[in-house]
Structure 1
Amino acid sequence: MTSIGVLGTGIVGRTFAARLAELGVDVLVGARTADSASLEPLAALGVRTGSFADAVAHADVIVNATNGLHSIDALETVGVEALAGKTLIDVSNELQPVEGGFPKPLASADDSLGQRIQAAFPDLHVVKSLNTMNCTVMVDPSIVEGDHVVFLSGDDAGAKDRARELLATLGWRPAQIIDLGGIDTAAAVEMTMSLWMRVTIARGSGAPRFNWAINSG
């Protein structure tokens, strides 16, 4: 597995970085500043840390685990030139907080965060994936039984191959990976978050540890 840069130190970024380090992958996790206190728990685990720019410079494959509302701003701190030619696996969701209610996904039928990242950084190879499940399932699909699935959306075939390599490292089997097509298909994937949140709440305790499966008759 190639070196990986993880952007973001929230629960998703921490889970990704810790799991990759456990698997022996060369990983560096970045925050907005290299001295951010949010990096300390990861450094204590022996994970290399730095700024967003450090993480991008470290790796050819980047995992965007930043808050979706701020992902483009975070990438802008790195810069267009530094991102050119890199593969970005975007696992984030753009969720607008709602006081007293469910967060509101901002994706629509013809717009998504994945598409806007690709438009903002045309020389970056964006692959939308893994955003349809809890982060514990993202990094260890074996915790959910059966042939549940993960989707890929992106315009660059080579970037999708690198995404598949990362997925395989995490334990995803080829039969579980569904290529939906170009980055425009990310809109449909991101829109599933409304349903995901409703199912999570309906299931109650331990609810996030599930995923979608496709069964044919």
Structure 2
Amino acid sequence: MTSFGVLGTGVVGRTLSARLAELGSDVMVGARTADSASLEPFGALGVKTGSFADAVAHADVIINATNGSHTLAALESAGPLAGKTLIDVSNELEPVEGGFPKPLASADDSLGQRIQAAFPDLYVVKSLNTMNCTVMADPSSVPGDHVVFLSGDDADAKDRTREVLALMGWRPEQMIDLGGIDTAAAVEMTMSLWMRVTVARGNDAPRFNWAING
């Protein structure tokens, strides 16, 4: 059975770790320190807790659910990463006073690419970052053949990511392989549109995701 190390204790980390634990997976959630107060809510979820390094050591597959602005520092503190698969679901957003957060990805740069460049022996797959975390964890929460994208350089890591996606309910026809990690820039830039659509539809609107018709 695959063991998971989920890095990050915010709503995304809580949602994904709860879902994986519910499905019977072995999950450890990591924070900056093993005694961080942010880990307290996880006791009720049936998951282990520890530091970032503890979670990485525990895991066959790492899920990066940290704040994108802090991801590289979190991974630096996480100990040996060589040979691990990391599913990066994060987005790097710059807060804007009185406005929408600004995605920092550009056509030539993304957090996914910078993670891979900083840790060349880590197998990075960018995925799930184009939707709300409830949809990440349970695609049945949105009807229809909406899609999830994969970007990464290693074929085996993508296969492991597909297995994780399938575990959470994603069907093969919903998984779209965009190519290498350089394509992570495109999916990270969609966050500008995602936020605008979310605001335009209102806080009470049902969850949504992107679909490809034709």
TM superposition score normalised by structure 2:
0.98
Specify the alignment match of 1:160 in structure 2. 158
Specify the alignment match of 1:19 in structure 2. 19
How far, CA to CA, are the matches of 1:208 and 1:91 in structure 2? 21
Aligned pair in 2 of structure 1 residues 9, 208: CA closer, same or farther (>3 Å)?
farther
Specify the alignment match of 2:197 in structure 1. 199
Deviation at 1:98, TM superposition (A): 0.3
Deviation at 1:206, TM superposition (A): 3.0
TM superposition score normalised by structure 1:
0.97
Aligned pair in 2 of structure 1 residues 207, 72: CA closer, same or farther (>3 Å)?
farther
Unmatched tracts of structure 1, length 5 or more: none
Corresponding residue SS for 1:35 = coil
What amino acid sits opposite 1:183 in the alignment? I
Unmatched tracts of structure 2, length 5 or more: none
How far, CA to CA, are the matches of 1:208 and 1:64 in structure 2? 26
Specify the alignment match of 1:68 in structure 2. 68
Aligned pair in 2 of structure 1 residues 89, 20: CA closer, same or farther (>3 Å)?
same
Deviation at 1:209, TM superposition (A): 1.0
- 1:130-181, Cα deviation, whole Å (9 max, x unpaired): 0000000000000100000000000000000000000000000000000000
What amino acid sits opposite 2:49 in the alignment? T
Corresponding residue SS for 2:151 = strand
User: What aligned pairs does 1:42-61 form with structure 2 within 5 A after superposition?
Assistant: 42-61=42-61
Mapped contact 1:63–1:89 kept (Cα < 8 A)? yes
Corresponding residue SS for 2:120 = coil
User: What aligned pairs does 1:60-209 form with structure 2 within 5 A after superposition?
Assistant: 60-79=60-79, 82-207=80-205, 209=207
Deviation at 1:45, TM superposition (A): 2.5
What amino acid sits opposite 1:74 in the alignment? A
How far, CA to CA, are the matches of 2:142 and 2:73 in structure 1? 34
What amino acid sits opposite 2:53 in the alignment? A
Deviation at 1:208, TM superposition (A): 6.5
What amino acid sits opposite 1:160 in the alignment? K
Aligned pair in 2 of structure 1 residues 208, 122: CA closer, same or farther (>3 Å)?
farther
What amino acid sits opposite 1:180 in the alignment? L
Corresponding residue SS for 1:5 = strand
Q: How many residues get paired?
A: 214
CA RMSD, Structure 1 to Structure 2 (Å)? 0.9
Mapped contact 2:30–2:54 kept (Cα < 8 A)? yes
- 1:25-49, Cα deviation, whole Å (9 max, x unpaired): 1111100100011111101332110
Runs of 4+ in 1 over 4 A off after TM superposition: none
Specify the alignment match of 2:3 in structure 1. 3
Aligned pair in 2 of structure 1 residues 149, 106: CA closer, same or farther (>3 Å)?
same
Corresponding residue SS for 1:78 = coil
